[in-house]
Amino acid sequence: MVLGFFAPDTIPELGENSIRPQREPRAPVAAADAPETESVEQSQKAEQQSEDLSNVEPFVQFNCSICGLSEKCFFGDLKALDGFYPSPVFYMRDPFLPPRRVKGRKLQLSDFLVLGSSCSLCSQSVCLDKACSVYFGTLFCTTCIIRERRRFPETVLQVRDNHRCC
């Protein structure tokens, strides 16, 4: 028996154990102006993506989950010539210092103001105020320190108790 392609209405009846021939999918017939429409669509998509990227604001809204401090800032790894932070932080250029206008000068950590980071246990945003967070290898919010009191050494608990929020 020779397997081949049949018109749908002329497919012979086959037994249960026989293999029915499969049709190969055919490519759609392209219209004469299809390349032009594709290029127009691609250019429109490219324009839309460039508009989307230009509308992306580099700032994120930082909100401390303990004290409610709220500020627009950058979020990410902060690396400078003189050091770096080991985890992503919320930071901004120091608003209390005028920008230095020295050509070729590399940025230093002292040029930035670090607002906060994410708690290592609950991942909520917390500021670096002593009433809101404690740094002990990584940053912990005071809520997690209270909840997980038995996991922290006494010195960390004393620091937290000394700087309790009003």
- Helix (H) or strand (E) segment spanning residue 115: strand 112-118
Q: Kind of pairing, strands 112-118 and 79-80?
A: unpaired
Query: Span 117-130, mean pLDDT?
Result: 95
pLDDT tens, residue by residue, 132-155: 999 988 999 999 999 999 998 998
Rounded to 10 degrees, the C-alpha dihedral 105/107/111/113 comes to 170
125-137 burial: b if 16+ Cβ within 10 Å, else e: bbbbbeebbbeee
CA distance 71 to 64: 9
Q: Which residues sit opposite 92 in a β-bridge?
A: 113
> CA–CA separation, 88 vs 140, rounded Å?
14
Residue 31, both tokens: 């219209």
pLDDT in tens, 10-33: 555 555 554 555 555 555 555 554
Query: Please, are residues 79 and 109 in contact by the beta-carbon 8 Å criterion?
Result: no
- Report residue 55 as tokens: 């509308």
- pTM to 2 decimals? 0.62
- 41 — pLDDT class (breaks 50, 70, 90): confident
- Across 46-55, 57-66, 74-83, 148-157, least confident range: 46-55
